[in-house]
Amino acid sequence: MLKINLLPMKTNSPHVALFIPCYVDQFYPKVGIASLELLEKLGCKVSYPAGQTCCGQPLANAGYERDTVGATRHFIELFKDFDYVVAPSGSCVLHVKDHSPSISGLEKEQEELHHKIFELTEFITDILKVEKLRGSFPHRVGYHASCHGQRGLRLASSSELNQTLFNKAQKLLENLDGLEWVELSRTDECCGFGGTFAVTEEALSIRMGKDRLEDHVLHQTEIITGGDMSCIMHLEGIATRNGQKMKFMHVAEILNQAIS
């Protein structure tokens, strides 16, 4: 699926640009830190290009893709010279690849960017080719598959399709010592975040989130994890409001903590 030949490695360790989505930057710096440290531990040369804003996804999904030309141009210019761009978010990566408007004068750079931008877990499994991470994380972990990561970037098999089962995050997590993987009743149902959907369809959004949480409670999840903090923020927001005790961590936080 990758055009690796487009991207000659300049040294033994490729130069990775860390793309930290705006809400992670503002609300979850710990997830940015964990992503950075994790990639460094895995031998990558990582930079965080200054001046990052937002990829434009909230606007595009609300029907204003045409207003994201400025944000998209800025994004391409910021990241075009790196070997890879990696983000702890499937959703934002999907937006950059599928829904950013075409930028005149930067067509070549934009095309290249679409082949070298990755969500964190797929970068680790598919590019770094990490088969197994050694570490310990003795907890019962329930995984929330973000729809954009799962069905958009195909980070995991989809329950609707007749295909061999796979899950890139699970592959990295399940080998950690002591980690118990929780099997859910509905493995890949949406949590109801959905960007502006969370406020424009508030009642549905909350109901969907509560239903996801119930599934985790039923299967004694201790920590809910996932690859997108937007889903986690929504689920955690409902859980804390209702006094539910489970914990929430991004996959990067678990991996970074486990292998240190």
Partner 1 sequence: MSHPENATEFLKDQAKAKWHDETLWFVRDKRDRISKTIPEWEQLRELASQIKDNVLANLGSYLEDFERNALQNGIIIHWAADAEEHNQHVLRILREKNCKAIVKSKSILTEECHLNPYLEKEGIEVVDTDLGERIVQFLNQPPSHIVLPAIHLKKGEISELFHQKLHTEKGNEDPTYLTQAARIHLREKFLGAKVAITGVNFGIAETGEFVVCTNEGNADMGVHLADVHIACMGIEKILPRRKDLAVFLRLLARSATGQPITNYNSHFRSPSPGKEIHIILVDNGRTAQLSREKFKNSLKCIRCGACMNTCPIYRRSGGFSYGSTVPGPIGSILSPGLDMKKHSTLPFASTLCGSCSDVCPVKINIHEQLYEWRQEITKTHGEFGKGLSMKLASGIFKSPLAYKISGSLMRSALKALPDSLIYHPLNTWGKSRNLPDTPNETFQQWYKKNRS
Among 16, 17, 24, 120, binds partner 1 (CB under 8 A): 24
Q: How many residues bind partner 1 (CB under 8 A)?
A: 74
Interaction of residue 54 with partner 1, rule CB under 8 A: yes
How far the first Cα of the chain sits from its last, in Å, is: 31
**Shortest separation between residue 89's beta carbon and partner 1, angstroms:** 13
Distance between CA 260 and CA 257 in Å, rounded? Answer: 6
Phi, psi of 21 (to 5 degrees): -55, 150
User: What one-letter code names the amino acid at 38?
Assistant: L
From 16, 259, 8, 230, select the one nearest 133 (Cα to Cα).
Answer: 259
Residues 114-173, interacting with partner 1 (CB under 8 A): 147-148, 151-152, 158-163
Per CB under 8 A, the list member of 52, 110, 125, 221 interacting with partner 1 is 52
H helix count then E strand count, the chain: 13, 8
Take residue 67 and report the two structure tokens written for it: 């207003």
Least distance between partner 1 and beta carbon 137 (Å) = 23
| Of residues 163, 194, 167, 192, the one with CA closest to residue 182 | 167
Pick between residue 55 and residue 133 the one whose CB is nearest to partner 1: 55
Within 169-228, which residues bind partner 1 (CB under 8 A)? Answer: 186, 188-190, 192-204, 206-209, 211
| Residue 19 interacting with partner 1 (CB under 8 A) | no
Does position 233 interact with partner 1 (CB under 8 A)? The reply is: yes
71 lies in the site for partner 1, by CB under 8 A: yes
Minimum CB separation of residue 131 from partner 1 in Å reads 27
- The stretch among 58-66, 108-116, 126-134, 135-143 that binds partner 1 (CB under 8 A) is 58-66
- 117-119 β-sheet, strand order: 45-47, 15-18, 84-87, 117-119
> Given the complex with partner 1, which of 3 and 186 has the nearer CB atom?
186
Take residue 247 and report the two structure tokens written for it: 């914990």
To partner 1, the closest distance from the beta carbon of 138 in angstroms equals: 26
Alpha-carbon distance of 259 to 254, in angstroms, equals: 9
